[in-house]
């Protein structure tokens, strides 16, 4: 880092030890200059780049913590928040980074009520912050999964919770009530999980999702649900009939069963209720922690999350599906 980028003061701050634990993060990110240098170093690496025109060499305005682009075509000043999920937010980076640290690392997730208490913001603000962070946590790897892959679906929501799975499936095959949502999971054993909200559990829907996410020739493991029949055209399809046994040697969907219980514990315990409209964001959050569970400490997981904040926006209206100008503060 050069003086040209940060100004002398920030260069000195860079020498301060970066946090490894929650306790160190609280102390470290309490200083605005630390927040700025931490994010700048990860966003721009060696040179600050103007988000409007792509020029380098912007002048740092230390007292505003902003940069002035040297372009003669526009006279824009920009902060490190511009072009990220933090853009246009009046909430300071200190609060944003702590919320991000917590959500990246709390195993069962963290509710907007807890974030509101811990950071001293309103619950509504905390809720909006968490949803913006979840946008950053979305899996960016679009490639297909291969090898040994488990596929299973589950239902999340009210009335169907205590119903036998065959009855739930029969109900979902219809119009699909508002209170329950079908979710498909695809898990590469000893690897990544992908989950998505699906409109129904018909053969057409399930098959489409599997073809989209699993490379041909892979070993696919499912239960005996009739909608999975026909997968043996593209895959080595292994079926476990749960009416007979939960596992026969390596033929089972236990990896996903375990994942569903983790997911449901998080949703029931932490979030109390999740509207179907927002469910996919909770799915993204849980999948992020699961997929980054190995080989990373808390700081490493936080850095992965932070590396995904760029080029994404989530406005209040888009989040709530409402028109109008609701102000968040
Ligand atoms: Zn510029």
pLDDT in tens, 23-81: 999 999 999 999 999 999 889 877 899 999 999 999 999 999 999 999 988 888 999 99
pLDDT band of residue 223 (cuts 50, 70, 90) is very high
Question: Quick one: pLDDT at residue 167?
Answer: 58
d(CA 308, CA 324): 28
The full DSSP string for 208-264 is HHHHHHB-TT-EEEEES-GGGTTGGGTSEEEEE-TTT-S-BTTB--HHHHHHHHHHH
* Percent of the chain whose predicted confidence (pLDDT) is above 90: 63
Q: What tokens does 212 get?
A: 């989209």
Lowest mean pLDDT among 1-5, 88-92, 109-113: 1-5
50 C-alpha to center of ligand 1: Å?
A: 5
Give 67 or 139, the one with higher predicted confidence.
Answer: 67
145 C-alpha to center of ligand 1: Å?
A: 40
66 C-alpha to center of ligand 1: Å?
A: 13
43 C-alpha to center of ligand 1: Å?
A: 16
36 C-alpha to center of ligand 1: Å?
A: 19
At residue 237, does pLDDT exceed 60? yes
Q: What tokens does 166 get?
A: 């065959």
How many angstroms separate the most distant Cα atoms in the chain? Answer: 74
pTM of the model: 0.84
């Amino acid at each position: 880092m050069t003086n040209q980028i940060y100004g002398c003061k920030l260069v000195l701050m860079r020498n301060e030890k970066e946090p490894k634990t929650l306790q160190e993060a609280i102390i470290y990110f309490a200083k605005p200059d630390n927040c700025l240098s931490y994010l700048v170093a990860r966003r721009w690496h060696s040179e600050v780049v103007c988000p409007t025109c792509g020029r380098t060499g912007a002048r740092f305005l230390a007292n505003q913590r902003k940069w002035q682009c040297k372009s003669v075509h526009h006279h824009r000043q920009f902060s490190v928040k511009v072009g990220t999920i933090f853009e246009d937010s009046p909430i300071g980076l200190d609060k944003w980074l702590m919320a991000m640290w917590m959500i990246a690392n709390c195993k069962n997730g963290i509710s907007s009520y807890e974030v509101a208490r811990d950071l001293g913001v309103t619950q509504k603000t905390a809720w909006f912050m968490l949803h913006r962070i979840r946008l950053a946590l979305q899996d960016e790897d679009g490639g297909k999964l291969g090898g040994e892959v488990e596929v299973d679906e589950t239902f999340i929501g009210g009335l169907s919770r205590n119903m036998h799975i065959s009855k739930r499936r029969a109900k979902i095959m219809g119009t699909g009530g508002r209170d329950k949502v079908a979710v498909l999971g695809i898990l590469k054993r000893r690897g990544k999980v992908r989950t998505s909200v699906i409109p129904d559990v018909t053969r057409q829907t399930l098959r489409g999702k599997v073809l989209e996410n699993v490379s041909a020739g892979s070993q696919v493991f499912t239960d005996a649900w009739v909608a999975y029949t026909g997968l043996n055209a593209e895959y080595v399809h292994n079926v476990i009939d749960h009416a007979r046994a939960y596992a026969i040697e390596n033929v089972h969907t236990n990896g996903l069963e375990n994942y569903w219980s983790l997911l449901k514990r998080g949703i029931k315990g932490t979030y109390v209720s999740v509207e179907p409209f927002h469910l996919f964001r909770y799915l993204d959050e849980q999948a992020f922690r699961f997929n980054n569970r190995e080989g990373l400490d808390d700081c490493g997981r936080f850095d992965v999350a932070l590396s995904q904040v760029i080029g994404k926006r989530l406005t209040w209206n888009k989040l709530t599906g409402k028109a109008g100008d609701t102000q968040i503060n």
